[in-house]
Amino acid sequence: MLAAPRLLSIATAVPPYPLHQDDVIERVRLLFGGAQALNRLLPVFTNTGIRTRYSCVPIEWYDRPHGWAERNRIYLTSALDLLEATTLQLLDRAGRARQDIDAVVVVSTTGIATPTLDALLIDRMGLRATVRRLPIFGLGCAGGVIGLARAASQAIATPGETILFLVVELCALWFRRDDFAKSNIVATALFGDGAAGALLSTEGDGPAVVAVGEHTWPGSLDVMGWEVADDGLSAIFSRDIPKLVATEFRKVMAEFLARHDLVVDDIDRFVCHPGGAKVVAALEDAFGLGRGALAGARGVLRDFGNMSAATVMFVLERMLADPRPWNRALMNALGPGFTAGFIVLDNR
């Protein structure tokens, strides 16, 4: 029987500029002051449950227009800084050296990099020339779970090796000041920047990845994603996402668990990507939990906003810091596709 990969360490990082939601609202009033629909949409900011987010640029940067080339240059510099900071934390917490890393899996959907971020990180940190690379683009908010599952698969395929999993998303960088569409206002109210990661190996201590899975709904390509505009990336959100979670998610989750001889009652902790307050509430209903039960997801949303794929790793870090005992945890996230990603962790 193959040994299960274990999470040797978890780490997160945010860029240096905090964005307080009240300050963002005032900035939006100034920038969108001429939009008639703004007052109707402003409650979106207060209904998110977000108090603070972080940005790789100061809030004054958003006062001026910025093109693709400038935004992507900032993405490359800031993303690499965050990935290095995350990696150093991971190695320190696991008691490993950078030369112990055998493979790097990097997830990001908020910028373009060729050579990819993993290659840039290998060069900056002086990792071994034989390190295997797997860059993953386009998973959006599901990338934290699906990317971690891909890293776990690499660990299973190469027993004893150390796999570095990283995710970085700079969503706030793509705010578009001339777009008065509701989807842009919602994105402005929700998104923040952040990075996270994990070290995995079949040798060592930590929660074990014992099951992974995905479900992509047919005919759902327009539910979530990016649309490429002349001045950046424009968010696509369907207003039906909370409804889809409420009506479809529980069945899909139950089918995933059943494939691994599990039921919902076998799960002690739920580690969810908090896409927004309404989505968290819909997930609580889907899991059969009371309102407010997903306190970790709500807390991360409050303190960091929606950092796309990185967010669920922040929730995982918070859950692992909780001293209360647990046996099994279910990680889940939803992203463009429209796809649900699942991981079961075993702490025994």
Retrieve residue 78's tokens: 């800031």
Helix (H) or strand (E) run with residue 87 in it: helix 68-94
Cα separation, 241 vs 304, in Å, equals 21
Antiparallel, parallel or unpaired: β 52-55 and 224-229: unpaired
For residue 254, count CB atoms less than 10 angstroms from its CB and return exposed for 0-12, middle for 13-18, buried for 19 or more.
middle
Among this protein's residues, is 141 annotated catalytic? yes
**Quick check: 199 and 9 in contact, CB under 8 A?**
yes
Beta bridge partners of 160: none
Strand ranges, E, within the chain: 6-13, 17-20, 52-55, 101-107, 132-136, 162-170, 193-201, 208-216, 224-229, 232-237, 269-272, 328-335, 339-346
Q: Which of 56, 141, 171, 272 is catalytic?
A: 141
In eight-state DSSP terms, residue 290 is P
Catalytic residues: 141
